[in-house]
Chains A and B, each alone.
Chain A
């Protein structure tokens, strides 16, 4: 083994010494003990690694990230229960246990699973995401949404690709592109998320709005032939319902 080969192997040696008993390092460690130059290199390398690791561990996650993760999982927990084909009552009990209230405006009251997941994603993003976007089409959509008495737009009023390509905020959810715009109505801030339906989702029947509420905020999810929509806000379910 050459000195360079020993350095190569010892680069993977953890600075806290927890690899000391690993036979893969034995020869290189033995060589570092016998070769003063290699030994000096190894000491400095470990000291450098320790210093870098110490600094990097000081980086703290942003406030609210933990709560957003847990809130999102609660919604996904409800989705999982539905997907497993549990009976209606069991699904409702699970949802209640997870502190999620799902109320559908239309009968039969069966929440669209993808809608639940999309709503959870939207509520998380509403709380933790860095909002903002640009582009004339996005501005026009926001103006339309902010107009007194206007309702949520349908597929005929959403030029998805143009919004996406001209600076409207875009996100990713389960491999799908989502556009989002923020707007204010009646003094409250709302977030509209739109994702194009694809594959099996595109073949599924459109569904009317289902409502989701959790500590971080509320959302309504619905779909038409072209898109899945979520409208999210911290203003509450009733405020959302009035805009639909």
Chain B
């Protein structure tokens, strides 16, 4: 891949990859590192990918693998599956709430969702990925994706409700519109 083609690949995917990384890593510095590492791997190994149409999926899969690898290394894994479903149907108030609050708060709420549910949820929201594409990117079965989307959305609604509650403290993240400069 020549330099210009690589730039086009970066321009097409680095922003959504950063958002995905930010939701996983939960801080801007680590998110930036993950995105850089992903493109670095592409530059050193990804040339072998014959179908450029699969580049997007490859990049998200690689970023997710790098995130998991780093997390294992840091021995910070938590119990991922043993969480209450928190099933609750969306109300009209839930929809209004999202419209009221800023992007930084929505991202902060997303970051409180358990990682198992957060990864597919982020791909669903940020990249408009289908359940099949998410299953491919995260290398999990389709049924698992559907289950995690359903439970993740319920957790996110609860997190957004808490974020707006009086006295709640949601830290803005750098790079998000609406974030306050410190």
Spell out A's residues near B (CB within 8 Å): 7-9, 11-12, 14, 16, 18-19, 22, 41, 44-45, 47-49, 51-53, 55-62, 65-66, 68-70, 72-74, 76-77, 79-80, 97-98, 117, 120-121, 124-125, 128-130, 171-172, 175, 177
In terms of DSSP, what is the predominant structure of the interface of chain A?
helix
Is B125 in contact with A56, judged by CB distance below 8 angstroms?
Answer: yes
In the complex, the answer to whether B125 meets A41 with C-beta atoms within 8 Å is no
Measured between beta carbons, the chain A residues less than 8 angstroms from B98 are 48, 51-52, 55
B28 near A69 with CB under 8 A, answer no
Q: Give the interface of B toward A (CB within 8 A).
A: 3, 6-7, 10-11, 14-15, 18-19, 22, 28-29, 32-33, 35-37, 39-40, 42-44, 47, 69-70, 73, 89-92, 94-95, 98-99, 101-104, 106-107, 110, 122, 124-126, 128, 130-131, 145-147, 149-150, 153, 156-157, 173-178
Which A residues lie within 8 Å of B91 (CB)? 44
B97 shortest CB reach to chain A, Å: 9
Q: A44-B95, A59-B19 are in contact. Are A65 and B47 (CB under 8 A)?
A: no
Q: Main secondary structure on chain B at its contact with chain A?
A: helix
> Is A53's CB under 8 angstroms from B177's CB?
no
Q: Is the CB of A45 within 8 A of B15?
A: no
The reply to whether B44 and A80 contact each other, CB–CB distance below 8 Å, is yes
Shortest beta-carbon distance from A22 to chain B in Å: 8
A98 contact set on B, CB distance < 8 A: 3
Q: Which of A11, A57, A76, A175 contacts B149 (CB 8 A)?
A: A11
CA distance A97 to B91 in the complex (A): 57
Least distance between B26 CB and chain A CB atoms (Å): 13
Residue of B nearest to A59 (CB): B176
CB distance from B86 to the nearest CB of A (A): 13
Instruction: Provide the bound-state CA to CA distance between A47 and B42, in Å.
Output: 36
A18→B69 CA distance, assembly (Å)? 33
Supplied contacts A61-B14, A76-B43, 13 more A-B pairs, CB within 8 Å? A14-B130, A47-B95, A53-B126, A55-B103, A55-B107, A61-B18, A61-B175, A62-B174, A65-B14, A65-B36, A70-B7, A76-B40, A80-B47
Taken together as a complex, chains A and B put the C-alpha atoms of A124 and B36 apart, in Å, by 8
Q: Is the CB of A70 within 8 A of B128?
A: no
Q: List 19 A-B contacts (CB under 8 A).
A: A8-B146, A12-B150, A16-B128, A18-B128, A22-B130, A41-B89, A44-B89, A48-B90, A52-B98, A53-B128, A57-B126, A60-B175, A66-B11, A73-B39, A79-B44, A98-B3, A117-B44, A120-B40, A130-B28
Q: Report the bound CA distance from A14 to B153 in whole Å.
A: 13
CB–CB B150/A7 < 8 A = yes
Docked pose: A129 CA to B146 CA in angstroms: 36
For B33, the chain A residues whose CB sits under 8 A away are 125, 129, 171-172
User: B125: which A residues are within 8 A, CB to CB?
Assistant: 49, 52-53, 56
Q: Is the CB of B6 within 8 A of A70?
A: yes
Bound-state CA distance A98–B70 (Å) is 30
Of listed B101, B173, B177, residue having the most chain A CB within 10 A: B177
A130 touches B29 (CB 8 A): yes
